[in-house]
A and B are shown apart, each in its own frame.
Chain A
Amino acid sequence: MLETKTTPFRYDESLESALSHIENLLKDSYSVSKRTVSLLLLQGDPEIERRVRKQEASSYTSIQRIVSEARANYNQPISYVIALRRQQEAKRILSTTVTKKEKFGIGFAERLSRTMMNPVTGSLILLIVLYFGLYQFVGVIGAGILVDFIESTVFGEWVNPWVTDFVVGLVPLQIIQDLFIGKYGIVTLGLSYAIAIILPIVTTFFIVFSIIEDSGYLPRLAMLIDRVFKTIGLSGRAVIPMVLGFGCDTMATIVTRTQETRRERVITTLLLALAIPCSAQLGVIFAILSGNGLALITWVMAVALVLLLIGYLASKVIPGERASFYIEVPPLRLPKLSNILVKTYSRLQWYFIEVLPFFIMASILLWIGELTGLFNLAISGLEPVVKLIGLPAEAAVVFLYGFFRRDFGAAGLYDLHSSGELLGVPLVVAAVVLTLFIPCIAQVMVMLKERGIKTALAMTLFIFPFAFLVGFVLNLILTKLGVSL
């Protein structure tokens, strides 16, 4: 190992004497200097303590004694004393190497940054970002124009007829034909849902999200929203997984790792599974409710209310340390096109590696289900529940899709709506239930991995009946009030 030339700087006398005593007692070899090992011991690093106890069995008690004696010398934690001394040393070095010209006034980026952090102008900016970024770009362009084009033109006019001809020509057997091109066929359902409906929505979302990310807007949003999030047991930092959840809840559940306490991770995971629609759901819901402002607002209000209510209750029930909020607010930067494109591409790649197999598998399962009659059995089992919340029996199919993937269910909802079978109040109720409803298989897998079986299972078991309960109540309220949407 290459040794550095300089001798390390010195701490105060009593610390130095403790350090040299400990260093002398460390007989084994370590991958870092004994000085560092001793410093970490003095600061009470549990991992290093374990390590040294194992490697220095005979002298560990003496080491412990020196450590506790050294600690008794200070009123503050030793880590603080050490940090202060290092800071002094850094200042000493910088005093001879860095010069700063005093700058007056603030630039445009800083002015914009402060506008974003002002609650009044900041909320306005948030609304603009949501309206243009999410509603217009993802909802109207992604879920509307692009989906229309790919679904009806690309698949409807080119791919499906071509594949149908090809399959029919290849295999004469009706059952096998159905596997690929039937009602639940791999191409006609699996692939066309994935590529025609999900791809454009997810792509547009990830583009917007990348721009938002690279500009440095998220920490500012976190700062604005911290107080609200505190009431649901989270800190402002949780906006990062939450906003990402609007793209893909599965991805966002992985990102909960960056949260500080277990309690925050559990609450965020629950809220992501329950009340944060993923981009595919969001896109489809925007698309089917876009012509109806009141319906859209009802949906937003219902889901937001559930989010706050369950978050609030969860924060009361789930034990653990209270969240504290601190985040670095980096300067606003102009996003780089190349980074946005590459990032969107790599996220899409990740997404499709996750999604496509599930879509194809779902098609196959549905095909088997129909063949064996299990499918109809499941639907007839769901029908009473679906009817109870005021939906037509056909909606049961959508929920069955939803089991496989959130977005799959959303795509089913889109189909049902465009065929004119679901309108008005039932449409809004279906949209709400489907948003809250069971997280997709991929998400449940990640929940199992990140939170453990018990927690993940408890969440899933809670969400399923709860989603229908909310649907039931919402339907009751809307019909009793005589609202027509």
Chain B
Amino acid sequence: MELEEKAEELLETIWICTEEGTEDSLAVVGLREEEKEATEQLLKVDYIMATDGHLRLTKRGRPVARNVVRRHRLAERLLTDVLGTSDMLLHEKACKFEHLLDRGLDESICSLLGHPKICPHSKPIPPGGCCQQERAPAPKLVSPLSRLSPRQKGKVAYIYATESSQLQKLMAMGILPGASISLIRGFPSYVFQIGQTQFAVDKEIAKAIYVRLVEPETISETQEELPHGRGRGCRLRRFGRWWSKRS
């Protein structure tokens, strides 16, 4: 069945706090009317269970919650990398966007974005079925350098380094977001040009550089209309007061 926006946000909050955080459940304090409704809806479909004021995901609910998180973070990626949305508005917009990404649509967006591993806040994006396919079609909007074809050009969108020494190396090479980059060769090693310099790197490093293949659309006009604030306007965050640390 279709979940309400509120219900999805609740699932997401429980996921972040239990699967990624250190808690084993979400403590619930002082619910509002709409929040109570969301909780009840989730209890009814057996996605969550409640034991003395604490919520946790059920076996059934876990994949659903995971998918909500995935959609939210993919939405954030899309907004940052392709639409050039500023950090301030990111969370707000992503909250709206995630609910529009139905199953199937999230896979095509994931492919367009080169199967990103982390959201713009460096939180992991749970991989979908599309991420496992080795020979998938080449990404169109954002792609790791390792999947570009020779002569493709773009700008560095972000770096996904698996370890800090790798990040330091990339920084030393001047590979930072915004730098123009073009691939010269993809075999036997990756040779690319950044500014006026060419570098040769192995696949591990090439996989860490995500390249934006299109110029971001300017959305400065719409930015003015939206309320400012550091993304705290998102209603998802309201669930934040539901949970407290359980020591």
Interface residues of A (CB under 8 A from B): 75-77, 79-80, 83-84, 87, 91, 113-114, 117-119, 219-220, 222-227, 230, 235-236, 324-330
Query: Which residues 110-136 of B have a CB within 8 angstroms of A?
Result: 121-123
| Closest B residue to A219 using CB positions | B200
Residues of chain A within 8 A of B167, CB atoms compared: 77, 79-80
20 A/B residue pairs, CB under 8 Å, sorted by A: A75-B121, A75-B122, A76-B122, A77-B167, A79-B164, A79-B168, A79-B171, A84-B176, A114-B184, A117-B184, A117-B191, A118-B185, A119-B187, A223-B200, A226-B202, A236-B200, A326-B199, A326-B202, A329-B198, A329-B199
| A230–B202 touching, CB < 8 Å | yes
Judge whether B169 and A324 touch: CB under 8 Å: yes
Partner of A325, one of B173, B176, B201: B201
CA distance A114 to B151 in the complex (A): 12
Residue numbers in A under 8 Å from B159 (CB-CB)? 80
Residues of chain A within 8 A (CB-CB) of B168 are 79
Complexed CA–CA distance, A118 and B185 (Å)? 8
Q: Which residue of B lies closest to A43 (CB)?
A: B168
Interface residues of B: mostly helix, strand, loop or mixed?
Answer: mixed
CB-based nearest B residue for A118: B185
Contact with A along B145-170 (1 / 0, CB 8 A): 00000000000000100001011110
Contact size class for B?
20 to 34
Q: Once the chains bind, are B171 and A324 in contact (CB under 8 Å)?
A: no
Question: Please, how many angstroms separate the alpha-carbon atoms of A76 and B191 in the complex?
Answer: 27
- CB-defined contacts of B178 to chain A, threshold 8 Å: 87, 91
Q: Per a CB cutoff under 8 Å, which of A219, A222, A324 touches B204?
A: A324
Q: A83-B176, A226-B200 known; A236 and B189 CB under 8 Å?
A: yes
**Which residues from B are CB-within-8-Å of A77?**
164, 167
User: Given A79-B167, A226-B189, 16 other A-B contacts at CB below 8 A?
Assistant: A75-B121, A75-B122, A76-B122, A79-B168, A83-B176, A84-B177, A113-B198, A117-B191, A119-B187, A223-B188, A223-B189, A223-B200, A230-B202, A325-B189, A325-B205, A328-B173
Q: Is B197 an interface residue (CB 8 A)?
A: yes
Instruction: Tell me how far the C-beta of A170 lies from the nearest C-beta in chain B, rounded to whole angstroms.
Output: 61
A84 CB contacts on chain B under 8 angstroms? 176-177
Q: Report how far A156 CA is from B171 CA in the complex, Å.
A: 61
**Is there contact, CB below 8 Å, between B199 and A328?**
yes
CB <8 Å contact, A227 and B189: yes
- CB pair A117 B176 closer than 8 Å: no
Q: Residue B191 contacts which of A75, A80, A235, A329 (CB distance < 8 angstroms)?
A: A329
A326 B205 Cβ-Cβ under 8 A:
yes
**Nearest CB of B to A128, in Å:** 19
CA distance A245 to B25 in the complex (A): 61
> Which partner residue on chain B sits nearest A321 by CB separation?
B165
Verify B188–A227 contact, CB threshold 8 A. yes
Q: How far is the CB of A393 from chain B (nearest CB, A)?
A: 47
